[in-house]
Amino acid sequence: MNFPVTIFTDNNISAAKRSLRKRLHQLFSSKWLLSNHESSRRIVRLEEPVSGCTPLQWLQLQSHPVKVYWSDRKHDFESAGIGFSDVVKSDDEEQHNLKLLGIKQKLGDVSGKAKYYGGMRFNSKTEIDEHWLPYGSCLFILPQFELYSDVSGTHLACNIIIEPGQQAFGKLQYILESLDKVQIDEETTAMQEGIAQFTRKDTPEKKQWFCIVDSVLDILKSGKAEKIVLGRSTLLLFDVVIKSVQLMERLKRIEPVAYHFYIQPEEGNAFIGASPECLYKRHGSFIQSEAVAGTCPRGMTLEDDRRLGEALLQSEKNHREHICVRNNLKSLLENCCQSLQIEDIKLLKQAKVQHLYSYVYGQLAESISDMDLLKLLHPTPAVGGLPRDRALQDIDKLEPFDRGWYAGPVGWIGHDMAEFAVGIRSALITGSTLRLFAGAGVVEGSKAQLEWDEMESKISAFMNALGKD
């Protein structure tokens, strides 16, 4: 039987590494470990309380080529990780269920704070462009070291996988050498402020975008689809290598009301974002999700902001787009929930835009797993369209770029909990290149220019983080 074990100790930031080293020695010399590691595979997690450093500050100090970061929209949980104790990766959609099932088996049957962080491609059936190859079709990482904050405080954690028959001494030495390279300091490096010099190329360019929207409107008029979400890739080429963790920090400051994520599978390659949209959150059998569709800018004044929000609530086009997403989510969850509630439409206000928002929650049927939920809920009509299969076909045919992980599920899986955001308001960093992604839902009555302007609003937080107003 595989199961995680969490061991807590007490210490401050200056002694955290020393205390963790001591506990590692104790663990690998314990009779419990020596007597059990031959017959079972387990995740052991050691934790040390720390102070004086946030997870994102800590992540900026680390030189490890593998990094992950996650924070939820309400700031209840934040975690940064480096290295990997385990990696689950798939390059084929048919392997997804087996890979995700493998994560659940590794986490086992008892409670623990160990989590696998990662995500999946928007469409696993399409060909992968070269710049998305490090991510595969599906990638989840159990970090070797992790600094996280939740209601219990801030802790430095070490995740260890004990394999049957593994030599304890060799494993201990490897972990101790990795621990020596972990930096914990109350001071952070200087922030890389705005990166002014870059060239820009949109795919599709504006003229092509107008043609694509016209094609979609013809499809909608024929009755073959109700909604199709079109995306755009904006390529920014800089004259310096982008400091991606620092860009993540600036993005979080500019756009605080979001799910923030950062997945770096190798040096110089990171997928980052500040998404407004929860795909789902599960705690035991309780599930919460939301419909987010319909967008307008924020106002320059309180009165202007209120007026824009009221206009969004009254907009026939945006209301139709939102109801499309809301009704679809409701019908999907009704099939797998014992009970379900959906609240009235409200406004979700972010730094640069505001959305129509509906909160949904319920009690899952006993047999429903995270694999079932991901397959059921992704892609939502807010990032794909309706009917789903027809919309995916049209997106693949009409969009002149590979979405990769853009608009795919990004989040984490734990023993009895999971949380995923929709990977929108996101970007892919490769060295000195930044690819920004944005989309717009096309329904009957959509105007190409207005949808283009909406996408500009959606990348504005990134542009501000880069020092561009």
The answer to whether residues 303 and 450 belong to one domain is yes
- The stretch 190-201 carries a mean pLDDT of 69
What does the H/E/C string look like for 173-192? HHHHHHHHCCCCCCCCCCCC
Predicted confidence band of residue 413 (pLDDT cuts 50, 70, 90):
very high
What is the separation of C-alpha 315 from the centre of its chain, rounded to a whole number of angstroms?
30
Q: Which residues pair with 428 in a beta bridge?
A: 271, 435
Amino acid at 81: G
The per-residue pLDDT for range 243-280, each reduced to its tens digit, is 999 999 999 999 999 999 999 999 999 999 999 999 99
Give the pLDDT mean for 7-22: 72
pLDDT-based confidence at residue 189 (cuts at 50, 70, 90): very low
49: Cβ contacts below 8 Å, ≥ 6 apart: 8, 9, 10, 11, 12, 16, 153, 154, 155
Instruction: Look at residues 139, 154, 180 and tell me which one is the last residue of a structural domain.
Output: 180
| Active-site choice (47, 78, 226, 277) | 277
How many C-beta atoms lie closer than 10 Å to residue 239's C-beta? Answer: 10
Check whether residue 252 and residue 325 sit in a common domain: yes
| 464: three-class secondary structure by DSSP | helix
The tally of domains found in the chain comes to 2
Q: Please tell me the predicted confidence (pLDDT) of residue 342.
A: 95
Residue 186 located in a structural domain: no
Report pLDDT digits (tens) over 285-328.
999 999 988 899 999 999 999 999 999 999 998 998 899 889 99
Same domain as 328, residue 209: yes
pLDDT grade for 2, boundaries at 50, 70 and 90: very low
Query: pLDDT tens for residues 49-94?
Result: 998 789 999 999 999 999 999 999 989 999 999 999 999 998 877 7
Instruction: Give residue 223's domain range.
Output: 198-465
378 domain-assigned: yes
Task: Please determine, for residue 30, whether its predicted confidence score (pLDDT) is greater than 60.
Answer: yes
Distance of CA 339 to the CA centre of its chain: 27
Q: Do 426 and 325 share a structural domain?
A: yes
Indicate which CATH number applies to the domain containing 362: 3.60.120.10
- The answer to whether 227 is a known catalytic residue is yes
Instruction: Mark whether 166 and 278 lie in a shared domain.
Output: no
Q: What is the pLDDT of residue 32?
A: 58
Q: pLDDT for 369-383, tens place per residue?
A: 898 999 999 999 989
Q: Please identify which of the residues 104, 106, 113, 227 carries the catalytic annotation.
A: 227
